[in-house]
Amino acid sequence: MFQPDLLKGKRILVTGGGTGLGRSMTHRFLELGANVVICGRREDVLKQTVDELAKETGGEIEAVGCDVRIPDAVEAMMDTIWAKRPLDILVNNAAGQILAQTHKLSTRAIDAVLGIVLHGSAYCTVAAGRRWIDAGLRDRVVMSILTVSSLTGAPFTVPSSMAKAGVLAMTKSLAVEWGPKGIRTCAIVPGPFPTEGAWSRLMPKERGGNEELVKTIPLRRVGEHEELANLAAFLVSDGAAYINGDAVVIDGGKMLQSGGGGASTQAMLDWTDEQWEALRPKRK
Ligand SMILES: CCCCCCC/C=C/C(=O)SCCNC(=O)CCNC(=O)[C@H](O)C(C)(C)COP(=O)(O)OP(=O)(O)OC[C@H]1O[C@@H](n2cnc3c(N)ncnc32)[C@H](O)[C@@H]1OP(=O)(O)O
Ligand SMILES: NC(=O)C1=CN([C@@H]2O[C@H](COP(=O)(O)OP(=O)(O)OC[C@H]3O[C@@H](n4cnc5c(N)ncnc54)[C@H](OP(=O)(O)O)[C@@H]3O)[C@@H](O)[C@H]2O)C=CC1
């Protein structure tokens, strides 16, 4: 699908790259010739991913332990990365999610999610951007992984929805402020892509599992990691050099299905031809 050297020479940081979608994007970036740094809090998980992906792809991958909620830790990580070679691309992927009634959330729960998603993305973005701007480095990219709830809101995941909406605002604001400096921003808005991290927190069995979920998706399936990884590879590549400030939705149409009449319109998808025929005016 892509030229095999599409990302050759690009140095990319994927936050939360040890698991789930971050791992899958890292895998694709390595296959396309990038040099990738992953970060996260669990160093054992990072090490295992580095070993596995180096073996699977033969690519250059390294890990730095970092909690993106801690400003000094983010600065230290960027210093470690820069000591070898400046980044070309930052992917804000690390996230935290809690499924709960909002009025029962403790302030620590709210802070945990806002800290990872909103503050962590801002700390990483500013730490990379400042280094690029101070050194006059151009042709750089910040790509953030959002959620559909950043566009629509969502009950029971309010801190994440608020935080991702903030990251979207950062993406659009910096497109204008940093565009003239040769730094572009973009985002991906994924629908459901099964991962251990998301499913263990967001898919208790009471939700009915994937079978119920896919009924809410026009393409009637969940996303495949490769599909998201391909979109990510394109968006960070030079092929997408004129995309700045946009957020691309990849959700099988899920976000649109709730529009235009909601549940009663949904039921019409299962109507028989006879039911539709009965609506047609009868000619005499
Ligand atoms: C099904 C379809 C889905 C499609 C859409 C999917 C959209 C997906 C978006 C995603 O972001 S998926 C990514 C999921 N991955 C993660 O969340 C990984 C990282 N997450 C975490 O580390 C934790 O979940 C965390 C809670 C966010 C942070 O962990 P940390 O160790 O820092 O905090 P804790 O000390 O464990 O907890 C802090 C605070 O939060 C309270 N809390 C935790 N879980 C819940 C809960 N389920 N309900 C209510 N409260 C919760 C916890 O009790 C602590 O509060 P206090 O008790 O100390 O007041
Ligand atoms: N899966 C899905 O259906 C969807 C996912 N998304 C988004 O995709 C992205 C990846 O999610 P997914 O792969 O599903 O979930 P994962 O739980 O697998 O990924 C989250 C990653 O973030 C890391 N992380 C969490 N907190 C911190 C922190 N404080 N500092 C550094 N790293 C941290 C975790 O590593 P560690 O715990 O070791 O720190 C983990 O590797 C997220 O941005 C999520 O919001 C959006 C919509 C749908």
Interatomic CA distance for residues 17 and 25, integer angstroms: 8
pLDDT number for residue 261: 63
pLDDT number for residue 259: 67
| Token couple for 82 | 């820069």
Contact status, residue 34 vs residue 65, Cβ threshold 8 Å = no
pLDDT number for residue 16: 99
Average pLDDT rounded to a whole number, residues 87-106: 98
Taking the centre of ligand 1 as the mean of its atom positions, its distance from the CA of residue 111, in whole angstroms, is: 10
User: Which ligand 1 atom minimizes the distance to the CA of 98?
Assistant: 47
What percent of the chain stands above pLDDT 70?
99
Residues with CB under 6 A from ligand 1: 95-100, 105-106, 108-109, 112-113, 147, 160, 192, 197-198, 201-203, 213
Interatomic CA distance for residues 265 and 261, integer angstroms: 5
Instruction: Kindly tell me if the per-residue pLDDT of 260 is higher than 80.
Output: no
pTM here is 0.97
pLDDT number for residue 255: 96
Residues with CB under 6 A from ligand 2: 15-16, 18-22, 39-42, 45, 66-69, 93-96, 116, 120, 145, 147, 190, 192-193, 195, 197-198
CATH of domain 11-277: 3.40.50.720
State pLDDT tens for residues 134-151.
999 999 999 999 999 999
pLDDT number for residue 84: 98
Average pLDDT rounded to a whole number, residues 168-186: 99
Give the pLDDT band (50/70/90) at residue 269. Answer: confident
pLDDT number for residue 109: 98
Taking the centre of ligand 2 as the mean of its atom positions, its distance from the CA of residue 19, in whole angstroms, is: 7
Give which of 21, 57, 35 is closest to 190, Cα–Cα: 21
Name the residue of 24, 102, 106, 216 whose CB sits within 8 Å of the most ligand 1 atoms, as the mutation to test its pocket.
Answer: 106
Which ligand has an atom closest to residue 229 CA?
2
Instruction: Give the strand pairing for 89-92 and 60-65.
Output: unpaired
Tell me which residue has its CA closest to atom 21 in ligand 1: 96
Average pLDDT rounded to a whole number, residues 93-120: 98
Give the pLDDT band (50/70/90) at residue 267. Answer: confident
End-to-end CA distance of the chain: 57
* ipTM attached to this prediction: 0.99
Q: Which of 91-100, 116-125, 235-244, 249-258 has the lowest mean pLDDT?
A: 249-258
Average pLDDT rounded to a whole number, residues 88-96: 99
Average pLDDT rounded to a whole number, residues 95-114: 98
What percent of the chain stands above pLDDT 90?
92
Phi/psi at 19 (5° precision): -140, 170
Give the pLDDT band (50/70/90) at residue 25. Answer: very high
pLDDT number for residue 265: 80
Q: What is the largest CA-CA distance in the chain?
A: 83
Give the pLDDT band (50/70/90) at residue 236. Answer: very high
Taking the centre of ligand 1 as the mean of its atom positions, its distance from the CA of residue 122, in whole angstroms, is: 19
State pLDDT tens for residues 64-80.
999 999 999 999 999 99
Taking the centre of ligand 1 as the mean of its atom positions, its distance from the CA of residue 58, in whole angstroms, is: 34
